[in-house]
Amino acid sequence: MADLKGKKAFVTGGSRGIGAAIASQLASEGADVAITYSKSAETAHQVVSEIKQYGVNGVAIQADAMQAESVAAAVKEAIRQFGGLDILVNNAGIFELKSVSETTLEDFDRMMQVNVRAVFAAVCEAVKVMGEGGRIITIGSVFGDVMPFTGGSLYAMSKGAVAAMSQG
């Protein structure tokens, strides 16, 4: 990874798991990092404390990935606080298994809202300020191409959608 000193990054779902590891790595390379969290402010602030140990700025912003407007507002807030944005990492997502016969339209809406619509909303806000060399990274899944077990069709569809959007 190239030196990211002075770069400004935004990681959705950055308060735990893969998102927290991504945020930490970006900070270790010199980027200021904003993360989103949905519920646990305490956990998010622990990640921000770790980010700041690298001598960079860190901020936690509450955003509900079920609401694309909330994610878009979080991106705007990070841009306001950092004065720009160079890197967007769409990491927040949900994984639920259900057979198609048990899946409801509400299940469909929830999966698409979090895994597709929120990603699109974040991208739309980020590209407004990203200059040349800006990067948008969307965490996908091999399940977007191949679903090897029953119950994952909605998840596969959502990851296939963001892969297609990224290619476009």
User: Which strands, in side-by-side order, build the sheet including 135-138?
Assistant: 58-62, 32-37, 8-11, 87-90, 135-138
- Whole-number Cα distances in Å, 83 to 52, 71, 114, 153: 18, 18, 27, 40
* 111 beta partners: none
Residues serving a catalytic function are 155
Question: Dihedral through CA 146, CA 112, CA 166, CA 86, nearest 10?
Answer: -130
Question: Dihedral through CA 25, CA 158, CA 110, CA 94, nearest 10?
Answer: -30
Residue 91 and residue 33 in contact, taking contact as beta carbons nearer than 8 Å: no
